[in-house]
Amino acid sequence: MWDQVNKVECSCSNSQDHTPTIFQIRPMELIAGSSWRSEVSLVVYGAVEEMFHSGRHTDTEIIVQSKSFRCHKVVLAAVSEYFDAMFSSGMRECFNGVVNLQGIECSTFESILDFIYSGRQSIDTNNAENLLKASSMFRIKLLHEKCEEFLLKHVSAENCIGAWRLARDYECQTLAKKAWAFIMEYFIEVSQTEDFNYMHAADIIAMINDNELNVANEEIVCDAVFRWYNFDPESRKDSVLTLFEYLRLPLLSSEYLLHEIEPMKVVSENPRCRSIVKEAISYQMLPARRPDFSSPRVAFRNFSNMEEVLVIVGGYNDKGDKMLDVMAYSFLQKSWFSLSPLPIKLGREFASCVYGNDIYVSGGSTKPDTLLQYRAENNEWIICEAMIQGRRRHAIVAVGESLFVLGGYDDKATEEAERTLTCVLEYGVNTRRWEAVGKLATPVRSMSASVSKEKIFVFGGILNDEKETQMVQCFDTRLRTCYIVADMPYPCKLCKSVVCDKRFFIICTDGNIFEMNDDLRCARIAKIKDFNRRRFGAIHYKGMIMIFGGEYVSTTYRDIFSFNVDTEEITRFTDDNFPFRVNFGGLKIVLHKRFLIKEFSVKSE
């Protein structure tokens, strides 16, 4: 309160009556005194700077490159953890007052002392790097921060590699992040600088393996890497072999692969390089097998014009309505987008497959002889020539330059015994004509089919007598013959088969996952807990099998499972990020990002 005072008594020794002098100091005046700190600091700072220049009260001598600097221990220790530790350690420098510094230039130490004693902004493009290194060595935190701030403002295509290395070596996280982002954004210009020629192989790998690399195509990346290699081919021969593992060769054009990559001496001399190039050529030359590829080199960058997407075609919603919509899920953006809708309602039990980046849809309960093609290049549907014999509950796969339709159910057959089909039809992708090319060993419907080389394997299904089967049939597209090659552990209908890195996986309606090995033996390798559904979807994506949607009685599922084919680990996602769909087509294709514009909200359904 204002009527309260703090009394400080001061007595004078020559006073006879010892009458005290009383100063009345109000609390508010005590608070105001806190602002004196900055004023006192300026006085002290100015005095210390004057003492340094005049050499007064200095108690240590710092020798750098034969030049002597008279300094104050307490000042150096106050700003530098290095000097504080030195002067507190009991080392001889504590007693004789002489410190010899190695590994630093005289001009750099002069700039440090100027910063410490005057606080002047003495950082420029000529000394910033050396000051940063020295501030790190002497652990002068404030100077380190100021150097980083200065360098952040001067990052360019010419110096960003050096700035990134410097920041990485001297713990400048903000600078490292900005310099790396600059490298990613301006890679084309950066890759043509002198600094790029002297980079370590590990740093080149880090660059080309980053999905944030801003390049329009992978040819740009390969050109940069081979320029780096040709700068010093003798010492980099072993490194370029490692770099081949990280080049995304399957995404190159066929011309670049055949004319630029395949003739390289390093490819012809190294079996592993030849294998990687062969993989890329196979990806280009076998469009029917692209969805089955499992390789880290088949990965589109974030700035690429193209992107892998999951496409959901037609089907029924949870109210039983036939759907015309076609949706694409962007794994990169984690969002759904609307594509061009189907031209007709397909109804139930149609089949679908991918050839190259196009989707083909056949049959169904509404128009059993239908064949539709989704042209990914233009985001449009076209109606192809009708099938020779309509059907539903069948399978369609792509082999070579053809589509093959196998088995199924024909509602129009006069005899019930003839409705489950053995007929195999072939559609030429280029000729656009249908042909009956053979028969299955046993008529079957509601099965699954996948391809290895030129052979189609048909898993399970329902026979003419309405019984489920466990047989695995193989249709040889070259010989046009079919035979039974194996049995699954038990009868299974409405399963899904997926090829991942040349391995066959079969997902059954009860959640069991089987693998068929090279000896054509089927064995259970995993089971999805509490999984009981049919008419779900399954695709291969980056070494994982994604299983989604489906129904059981009147329940429509929206959860998604991922199965790691290497670890056999199963993960369930329950964020309701999948639309209400059953009897749909679920496929993976590569699509241009210009078609991923109109967002589709699955939560508003």
101, 93 contact by CB (below 8 A): no
pLDDT digits (tens, 9 = 90+) for 379-403: 999 999 999 999 999 999 999 999 9
Q: pLDDT > 70: what percent of the chain?
A: 93
Residue 16: pLDDT over 70: no
Per-residue pLDDT, averaged over 490-509, amounts to 95
Above 90 in pLDDT, residue 55?
no
**If you average pLDDT over residues 120-125, what whole number do you get?**
82
pLDDT over 90 at 24, yes or no: no
Q: What is the pLDDT of residues 580-590, one digit of tens each?
A: 888 899 999 99
Q: For residue 573, what pLDDT is reported?
A: 84
Both tokens of 109, joined, read 């130490």
Q: How confident is the model at residue 554 (pLDDT cuts 50, 70, 90)?
A: confident
Domain 306-604 class, CATH top level: mainly beta
**Distance from chain centroid for Cα 594:** 20
189-225 pLDDT, tens digit per residue, is 999 999 999 999 999 999 999 999 999 899 999 999 9
Query: What is this structure's pTM?
Result: 0.81
> What's the mean pLDDT in 106-116?
91
pLDDT reading at 324 higher than 70: yes
Mean pLDDT of 310-339: 91
Cα separation, 506 vs 449, whole angstroms? 10
Q: What is the CA radius of gyration of the chain?
A: 37
Q: Cα–Cα distance between 598 and 601 in angstroms, integer?
A: 10
585, 342, 365, 432: CA torsion to nearest 10: -90
What is the reported pLDDT for 604?
Answer: 60
Amino acid at 467: K
Nearest to 363 by CA among 446, 257, 305, 481: 446
Range of weakest confidence among 187-191, 234-238, 352-356, 554-558: 554-558
Contact 440, 462 (CB under 8 A): no
On whether the CB atoms of residues 588 and 353 are closer than 8 A, the answer is no
pLDDT-derived band at 1, boundaries 50, 70, 90:
very low
User: In the prediction, which pLDDT does 93 show?
Assistant: 63
d(CA 104, CA 110): 10
CATH number assigned to the domain with residue range 184-285, chosen from the 4 options 3.30.1330.60, 3.30.300.250, 1.25.40.420, 3.10.350.10 = 1.25.40.420
Mean pLDDT over each residue of the chain, to the nearest integer = 90
The helix (run of H) or strand (run of E) holding residue 315 is: none
Residue 104 pLDDT > 60: yes
22 — pLDDT class (breaks 50, 70, 90): very low
Residue 241, pLDDT > 80, answer yes
Identify the band that residue 2 occupies on the pLDDT scale cut at 50, 70 and 90: very low
pLDDT at residue 31 tops 70: no
The answer on pLDDT for 350 being more than 70 is yes
Give CA–CA dist 347/351, Å, rounded: 11
- Residue 11: which pLDDT band, with cuts at 50, 70 and 90? very low
Bridge partners of 475, per DSSP, are 456, 482
**Tens of pLDDT, residues 68-96:** 999 999 999 999 999 999 888 877 766 77
Least confident of 12-16, 181-185, 197-201, 582-586: 12-16
Amino acid identity of 540? H
Give the mean pLDDT of 470-478.
Answer: 97
8 Å CB contact between 477 and 498: no
Q: Does the structure show a pLDDT above 70 at 13? A: no
pLDDT at 272: 94
Q: Which amino acid is at 445?
A: R
Q: What is the pLDDT of residues 248-287, one digit of tens each?
A: 999 999 999 999 999 999 999 999 999 999 999 999 999 9
Distance CA 161, CA 182 (A): 9
Residue 471 amino acid letter: M
**Per-domain boundaries in the chain:** 1-57, 184-285, 306-604
Most confident stretch, 293-302, 428-437, 550-559: 428-437
